[in-house]
Structure 1
């Protein structure tokens, strides 16, 4: 089969991080757009990315990508495509649409006309009518309308890859694993460096670091990849790639990773998550208050990577600034010369705290953390 064009979605603000990861994993050139990257490759690349990529959400086979003028245009363009190489007549499908910009139609209208276009195109080619299943389709086709751009793709992933499968304990302010992994990359952390997360919650950041250090594919627990239901999928090839990826994991890791947390129930939850991920022996867990130097381990750490409270629900803004100041003072006392990578939606309060404690902000980037606009700061303690 000739090279296919793909696009992968990611968190808005992390496109460059995802690009570098994809380029490193499969050796291709990527193009960046808002919340997604595009590239050419083959089906083996799809299998590998879905298993091993840690900063992307979904991988799609691109069916169409260009401009349009009207809803009728979208129907005509979608109807002109061939779907027989993706779908069998007995399979069901669904259209999932997103719309950004000002239009005289909704995303539901897009799904309706594209769904009809797929049915009509397939019927013209085969004489058979496809069935729609909106709840559990065999094949999911994604449509994005952004201003005058129209993109269609086949979902090869299924549910987003940020759902790693190891979160048996859910912290109330949990960080997406894709963002946690990106933070490690933004800070230039490698398994050769020691790391502590002193406000670890459910231990997402330490787990992502431990997966990297252990060579364990971050999505190794996933059983239901959507590409397994595509008629072009070769399950034997996928199982071979999966076995090769799993064989690369290290039996022991020398990387020093510590997860510290003030509340015992979160520590226990983090341990359970690490066990599910298969990395509990790589992480040391500790009960401790991140604002108290005496609570930290005796050892020094090269990196502090952390997702602290933002103060959006319970704590007043001044309380958050004071928390950040106490935390930064503890780091200056206990971990001088370390690199801090921190994410917060209370960016103004963190900048004030950094200035008040003499912490230098080296890098600052904005990302969308769910519905929140957050900043990832890299600092020198």
Structure 2
């Protein structure tokens, strides 16, 4: 999940009846059934990948990673005719590279499988059938099987890309942080490609990730009962709603508004979009959630300063109840009720929450 928003993802897990806990930066865990693995891949809005955790612990040397990986039995996850690869995500100072760790863990998987099944697994670094992932944070590691594939923040509905897009998973978290309820109006005055109001609509209507479900990696895992998962999918699809929501978005540029309309249409939701300068916006909605432009992402500091100044002015004047602003600019209203820092890629970013 997004580093700095682990608590929001844990809140989402609770919606699925799961008790989550933070175990690393951007990493949360929960005890779950196999049916939950499908549900999280299909329905989660804040998570990026769902990993079947096979081993975790502390280590000092690469040889300890080899030992941990070797002690796992892979027969129920990988069929003998399938290929595999290892991907390592590493943070901290180490005497080895991520490629070194991938090589060591990969050899451990091969050796363990050969001992268990008498077969040497095939390695395919480009398009493996099964992907083993290892997350390393300083001297801690988590090793498991990827059930997702491409990150879930890539929803599939976005056919128009804004030059500085907001990740859909972060947009969902912002809506949750605003404590928005479906009966309340929500407005994004810098809507860009429409991600924030679209994510609010998907959330309220319980619309799952039906653009991506066929590509989930879990379908290639040997233990998966496809029939049961498809029955679960039908139960989830039957709960989709079609609420009349008061969702609004505006932007200075016509091309962004047209793109936002296309994205909303592709997502199957209805949003009220308007081409409008922030100076003409009226903040009379219950909830304001927005991602104003900032110089580091749009490459134009002057425009970013103007946008943020106008946003401050409008927030001071408006009759809203709650507001959430995400920005890399530290300049903002001083009357925020909560401030938190997250990492948006490699960019330190702040989220400001306001209440009246």
Question: Same fold by TM-score, threshold 0.5 exceeded?
Answer: yes
CA–CA distance in structure 2, aligned partners of residues 104 and 128 of structure 1: 32
Q: Secondary structure of 2:31's match? A: strand
* Structure 2: gaps of 5 or more residues: none
Q: 1:54: how far off?
A: 0.7
Deviations 1:237-296 (A, max 9, x none): 11111111111111x3122001111111101100111111111xx211111112224xx4
TM-score, length of structure 2 as denominator length? 0.95
Check if 1:272 corresponds to 2:251. no
Mapping of residues 117-266 of structure 1, within 5 Å: 117-217=108-208, 219-222=209-212, 223-250=214-241, 252-266=242-256
Count of matched residue positions in the alignment of Structure 1 and Structure 2:
354
Is the contact between residue 94 and residue 137 of structure 1 (CA under 8 Å) also seen in structure 2? yes
What TM-score, normalized to structure 1?
0.89
Offset at 1:100?
A: 2.2
The reply on whether 1:341 has 2:324 as its aligned counterpart is yes
Match of 1:377 among 340, 344, 352: 352
State the partner residue of 2:342: 367
Q: For 2:311 and 2:267, how far apart are their aligned partners in 1?
A: 29
Map residues 52-67 of structure 1 onto 2, 5 A cutoff: 52-67=43-58
Q: Per-residue deviation at 1:213?
A: 2.0
- Change beyond 3 A, Cα 1:69–1:323: closer
- Give 3-state SS (helix, strand or coil) of 2:215's partner: coil
- Structure 1: 5+ residue runs without aligned partners? 1-9
**C-alpha separation in 1, matches of 2:21 and 2:311:** 39
Q: 1:323 to 1:69 in 2, by over 3 A?
A: closer
Q: What is the correspondence of 1:343-358 to structure 2 with a 5 Å cutoff? A: 343-347=326-330, 349-350=331-332, 354-355=333-334
Structure 1 pair 100–330 and aligned structure 2 pair: CA distance change class (3 A): closer
Distance 1:120 1:376 in 2: 47
Equivalence for 1:76: 67
Residue 7 (structure 1) aligns with: none
Query: What's the CA shift for 1:29?
Result: 4.5
- Displacement of 1:97 after TM fit? 0.7
Ranges of 4+ aligned residues in structure 1 off by more than 6 Å:
none
1:304-347 residue CA offsets vs partner (Å, 9 max, x unmatched): 11011012243336x534432222323444x3243221100012
Secondary structure class of the residue paired with 1:58: coil
